[in-house]
Amino acid sequence: MKFRDYYETLGVARSATEAEIKAAYRKLARKYHPDVNKEAGAEEKFKEIGEAYAVLKDTEKRAAYDRFGANWKNGQDFTPPPNWNEGFEYADDGYGGAHPGYGSGFEGDQSEFFESLFGRGKHRQGGRGGHTHQGMNFKGQDHHAKIMIDLADAYNGAKRTIALHMPTLDASGHVTTQERKLDVSIPKGIKAGQNLRLSGQGGPGVGEGPTGDLYLEIEFHPNPIYRVDGKDVLIDIPLAPWEAALGTTVNVPTPAGSTLELKIPAGTIAGRKMRLKGKGIPSAEPGDLYVVPTIALPPADTDTHKEAYQNFEKAFDFNPRTHLKG
């Protein structure tokens, strides 16, 4: 197990006051909140910050944590000494940082380090439901999960078996994670950021209440060839200088798996987009596929190639910098 330096995570001194810790947490939470920060790793960072704050904001937990001393470093191998937390009592086992529903499933967000010290936090029960009310009926919880699909799945539709990790409370009130497999049909035309509602696949109802729903938020795997903008898709097509100057015909692969022949007119300029209408993500009003030409220069790596460039130079009276002074 790796040690976690919660002070370092929040960027505060070990002597920091409660107010300083709160301010540091707030600042970092705003910066790395996964709804705000779309960079890779932001979500992980947000969870770490939340975990650090859950410990340091709590006087009892912080005091217990401080007993390990200041010599431990982030990532060092660590085993808590026996009875390390003797005499400490934690008023709550709640974990105030991140919220369920992020990430690949519903698993608890705490690190192994946190869990071994403070136990697994109670899975927060959002909204209504969850608790048993005698003689009352509630719809089960709606669950949320993100799933990653390929852009091609949005073009063609797909069948996918997905695995969800769902925390469930056992009879003694402990959280255990159960894996659940679902065979889901991904409809053609779905776009990144959209939600697929699977009725009756959420949490169990209370009393006579119906089962909740499962919402799957769709994300596309990053694609080395295509960029996606809503229902439009962009592809860079590199051209040799002579192809751009004289015109040519190129084969454009579509995400659906087919190939389109595209005429490149003479005098094509890098970056000037060409639109293939209706070849974006399909729907009643399909998106467009944009071809973005780029110019690729062949390397001057042999005498013949160098000579070709020199001939080029002789043939043109060309200065690309006439608009710059000097």
**Is 118 a residue that touches another protein (CB under 8 A)?**
no
Q: Does residue 233 interact with another protein by CB under 8 A?
A: no
Distance CA 160, CA 187 (A): 11
33 binds another protein (CB under 8 A): yes
Residue number with CB closer to another protein (75 or 207)? 207
- Which candidate, 164, 163, 145, 162, places its Cα nearest to that of 214? 145
Q: Which residues pair with 58 in a beta bridge?
A: none
239 is an interface residue for another protein by CB under 8 A:
no
DSSP H or E run through 232: strand 232-239
Of 15, 19, 35, 132, the one binding another protein by CB under 8 A:
35
Minimum distance of another protein from residue 86's CB (angstroms): 33
Task: Print the binding letters for residues 123-162 with another protein: x by CB under 8 A, - otherwise.
Answer: ---xxx----------x-xx-x--------------x-x-
Is 295 one of the binding residues for another protein (CB under 8 A)?
no
Applying the rule CB under 8 A, the residues between 76 and 105 that interact with another protein are 97-99, 101
31 binds another protein (CB under 8 A): no
Rg (CA), the chain: 28
Among 80, 103, 187, 247, binds another protein (CB under 8 A): 187
Q: How far apart are CA 88 and CA 65, in angstroms?
A: 10
Amino acid (1-letter code) at residue 160: R
Q: With binding defined as CB under 8 A, does residue 196 bind another protein?
A: yes
Round to whole Å and give the CA distance between 90 and 61: 7
Residue ranges with strand state E in the chain: 143-149, 158-169, 175-186, 195-198, 214-220, 226-229, 232-239, 248-253, 259-264, 274-276, 289-295
Which residue in 148, 152, 234, 260 binds another protein (CB under 8 A)?
234
Q: How many CB atoms are closer than 10 A to CB 149?
A: 19
Q: Phi first, then psi: give them for residue 207, nearest 5 degrees.
A: 65, -130
289 interacts with another protein by CB under 8 A:
no
CB of 320 to another protein, least distance (A): 20
Question: Which tokens sit at 134?
Answer: 């005698």
Give long-range contacts, CB 8 A cutoff, 24+ apart: 172-176.
173/122, 174/120, 175/108, 175/120, 175/122, 175/123
By CB under 8 A, tell whether 275 contacts another protein: no
> Contact between 301 and another protein (CB under 8 A)?
no
Residues that bind another protein (CB under 8 A): 26, 29-30, 33-36, 38, 50, 97-99, 101, 126-128, 139, 141-142, 144, 159, 161, 182-185, 187, 189-191, 193-199, 201, 212-213, 215-217, 227, 229-230, 232, 234, 271, 273, 283, 290, 292
